[in-house]
Amino acid sequence: MRLGTSLVRFMLSSATPSTSYISSPQLTASSLAFNKSPYVQILNHRNHIMHRLLSSEPARRSGGWGQAPPLSFQMLLVGLMAGAGVLAGSQVYIDTKMQKAMQTTQQVAGKASVGGGAFELVDTNNKPFTDKDLLGEFALLYFGFTFCPDICPEELEKIAAAVDMVEAQTGVKIQPVFISVDPERDTPAKVKEYVKEFHPRLLGLTGDLESIKRVSKLYRVYFSKTGESKTDYLVDHSIIHYLINPEGEFVTFYAKSYTADNLATSMSENVRKWKASHPDYHPTLKLT
C-alpha cells in the first residue's frame, strides 16, 4: 500500500503544472488576474480530489466507522490506471481552461497583455533580428534550449508537423521560430545546427541574457537554470507555443497537451479568419 500511495503521489506531482510560471515575478498586473481564473480553481479542485484519495480516513461501513478492507494488488493497479486516465484527461481540460482564461485576460487588458512590443535578438548568422522582421508573416514562437534532452525536441517535431499541415490545408506557410532561453551556451552557430534537425523553415534566435529576458517578459515566459554546475545544467521553462499574426499581434497560445493535429486545426482556423478579413493579404515568406 505504501508503494501504491507513493505512485499516486508521484502522478499528482508530475501532472501539476509548474507554479513558478503562475507566480513568476515577471508577470504584470494584468496577468496576475490570471491567478484568479478558472484554471487555478480547477487545479485546486483536482488536487483536493487526489488529497482525499491519499488520506488515511477509514472507509464508512453500515455499522459505523471501521477499518477499510485490504486492497489487493489487482485492485490497486486498476485504481492507479484509472487515476492516470483521469489525470491525463484533467490536464487537457485544465490546459483548455488556461487558454480561455488567458485570452479573456488579454481581451480585458488589451492586445499587449501577451506579446507585442519591441525586441532585438540575433539570428543564426549572428545578424540582428527584431520584432519588425516578423511583420507580414504568420509566426509560431517556441522558447527552449538546444541542450534540452526530450521536451524541446518533441515540441519542435510537433511544430514541424503542424506547420506543414497548415500549409496543406490553407496554402499559407507559417514561420516557425525557436527562441533560446539559454544564451550562455546557445550561440548562433549552435542554434543553427540545432534547428536544421527539425524543419527547413525553422528560424533560430538567441541573444545576450538581457535580450532574452526582455522578449521572455513580453510573452510571459518563465525560465530558470537548474543545477549547480556552470556548464552542465538544464533550464526550466514554460512550454507554450505562441501564434502571431502578420501585424505582429498575439493571436493565441497552445499548451504542451496540444497534438500536431490540434495545433494545425486551430492555426488553420485562425489563418482562414485572417484571410477573410484581409482579402489583400499575400504571404511573402521573406525570412526563408
Q: How many CB atoms lie within 10 A of CB 126?
A: 12
Rounded Cα distance between 221 and 180, Å, is 11
Tell me whether residue 282 is annotated as binding: no
Residues 6+ apart with CB under 8 A from 16: 43, 47
CB 271 within 8 A of CB 167: no
Nearest to 123 by CA among 67, 39, 198, 186: 186
Rounded Cα distance between 111 and 109, Å, is 7
- Please give the grid coordinates belonging to residue 105: 485576460
Across 61-90, b (16+ Cβ under 10 Å) vs e yields eeeeeeeeeeeeeeebeeeeeebeebbeeb
Tell me whether residue 237 is annotated as binding: yes
Tell me whether residue 51 is annotated as binding: no
Annotated binding site: 148, 152, 237
Annotated binding site for Cu cation: 148, 152, 237
